[in-house]
């Protein structure tokens, strides 16, 4: 093979090998996380730099929380079904609807309280600074959607004026 | 006019090797110009004959590959991070599962 062609090929090989090596090393941790049976918990471990003991406790809390959450969801779904039945009749019983709305609302509050307690428990398993960061982050993502609602109202209002 | 032309004589001497130069020009004009591939091949052969250039070329491609790998790995892991973050939030907040 002629020397210039050989050098050209060596250059191209160096580029491909360099790319593949860095890409492989740079994504290794994430690929391992994705292979985990619970990748979202593996992500939590990485994001909040949890030790193995902390992580085990948090994973246990997570597994314990999910059935409670699922049970509340089932109860809310049942209330919603009953509410739909009340609304489907010709003469709607306003008082019964009101009571059902309140019951469903109470369950939602219970659900949010359960969520909040879980967040607190999880944050307590972390070192204080990381626990605070976790709590701030998760509350923003879950318990304070009203900010979003207010923003949507503002956007809607702005669109109405144009 | 005819008379003037018949009387006209060139007295200036021809430049040295005039005939040879004329034939060379004719020869060049008749030779086909090299193709782009030939020009490139010639250029590469000349450039890669210099070791400094060859080393610089291989190093530049290696660095380009490393940088591209680094950037793409960063983009990919950032996307995975966002997906896993959303997945964690959805796993604990039933209100976000339908979104």
Contact: B57, A7; criterion CB under 8 Å:
yes
How many angstroms away from the CA of A15 is the closest CA of chain B?
4
Q: What are the backbone dihedrals phi and psi of residue A2, each rounded to the nearest 5 degrees, phi first?
A: -70, 150
What residue ranges do the domains of chain A occupy? 1-35, 37-144
Asked if the model's pLDDT at residue A161 lies above 80, the reply is no
Residue B88 · residue A41 · CB < 8 Å: yes
Tell me, yes or no, whether B4 lies in a domain: no
Contact: A23, B69; criterion CB under 8 Å:
yes
* Mean local confidence (pLDDT), A124-138: 94
Q: Is the ipTM of this complex over 0.85?
A: no
CATH of A37-144, picked from 1.20.1740, 3.40.50, 1.10.3470, 1.20.120, is: 1.20.120
User: Using CA of residue A101, residue A107, residue A113, residue A119, what is the dihedral sign?
Assistant: negative
At A145 the pLDDT is: 60
Is the CB of residue A81 less than 8 Å away from at least one CB of chain B?
A: no
Contact: B85, A20; criterion CB under 8 Å:
no
How many angstroms away from the CA of B33 is the closest CA of chain A?
23
- What is the CA angle B83-A114-B95, rounded to 5? 40
Asked if the model's pLDDT at residue A154 lies above 80, the reply is no
- What is the CA angle A70-A141-A71, rounded to 5? 10
Tell me, yes or no, whether B5 lies in a domain: no
At B17 the pLDDT is: 87
At B15 the pLDDT is: 83
Q: Which domain holds residue B53?
A: 11-96
Number of domains in chain B: 1
Is the CB of residue A49 less than 8 Å away from at least one CB of chain B?
A: no
Asked if the model's pLDDT at residue A146 lies above 80, the reply is no
Estimate the crossing angle of helix B36-48 against helix A3-35, to 10 degrees. 80
Tell me, yes or no, whether B6 lies in a domain: no
How many angstroms away from the CA of A8 is the closest CA of chain B?
8
At A126 the pLDDT is: 94
* Mean local confidence (pLDDT), A111-124: 93
* Mean local confidence (pLDDT), B6-10: 83
Which of the residues B42, B65, B71, B87 would you substitute to probe the A interface, choosing the one with the greatest number of A C-beta atoms within 10 Å? B65
Tell me, yes or no, whether B55 lies in a domain: yes
User: What would the pLDDT profile of A40-78 be if each residue is shown by its tens digit?
Assistant: 999 999 999 999 999 999 999 999 999 988 898 899 889
User: What would the pLDDT profile of B29-85 be if each residue is shown by its tens digit?
Assistant: 888 788 888 888 888 888 888 899 999 999 999 999 999 999 999 999 999 999 999
Q: Which residues of A touch B48 (CB under 8 A)?
A: 3-4, 7-8
- Range with the poorest average pLDDT among A14-28, A49-63, A141-155, B14-28: A141-155
Is the CB of residue A130 less than 8 Å away from at least one CB of chain B?
A: no
Tell me, yes or no, whether B46 lies in a domain: yes
Closest CA to A120 of B6, B92, B66, B19: B92
* Mean local confidence (pLDDT), A94-105: 89
């Amino acid at each position: 093979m002629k020397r210039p062609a050989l050098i050209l090929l060596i250059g191209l090989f160096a580029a491909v090998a360099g790319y593949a090596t860095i890409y492989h090393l740079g994504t290794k941790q994430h690929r391992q996380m994705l292979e985990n049976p619970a990748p979202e918990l593996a992500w939590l471990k990485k994001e909040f730099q949890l030790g193995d003991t902390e992580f085990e406790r948090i994973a246990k809390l997570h597994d314990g929380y999910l059935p409670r959450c699922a049970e509340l969801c089932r109860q809310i779904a049942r209330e919603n079904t009953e509410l739909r039945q009340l609304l489907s009749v010709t003469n709607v019983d306003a008082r019964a609807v009101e009571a059902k709305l309140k019951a469903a609302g109470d369950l939602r509050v219970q659900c949010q309280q359960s969520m909040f307690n879980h967040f607190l428990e999880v944050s307590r398993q972390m070192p204080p600074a990381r626990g605070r960061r976790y709590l701030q982050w998760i509350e923003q993502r879950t318990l304070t959607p009203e900010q979003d609602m207010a923003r949507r109202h503002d956007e809607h209002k702005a669109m109405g004026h144009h | 006019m005819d008379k003037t032309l018949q009387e006209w004589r060139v007295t200036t001497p021809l430049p040295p090797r005039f005939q040879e130069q004329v034939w060379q020009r004719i020869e060049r004009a008749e030779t086909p110009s090299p193709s782009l591939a030939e020009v490139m091949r010639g250029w590469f052969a000349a450039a890669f004959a210099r070791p400094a250039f060859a080393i610089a070329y291989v190093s530049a491609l290696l660095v380009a590959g490393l940088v591209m790998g680094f950037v793409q790995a960063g983009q990919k892991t950032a996307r995975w991070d966002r997906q896993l973050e959303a997945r964690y939030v959805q796993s604990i907040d039933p209100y976000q599962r339908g979104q």
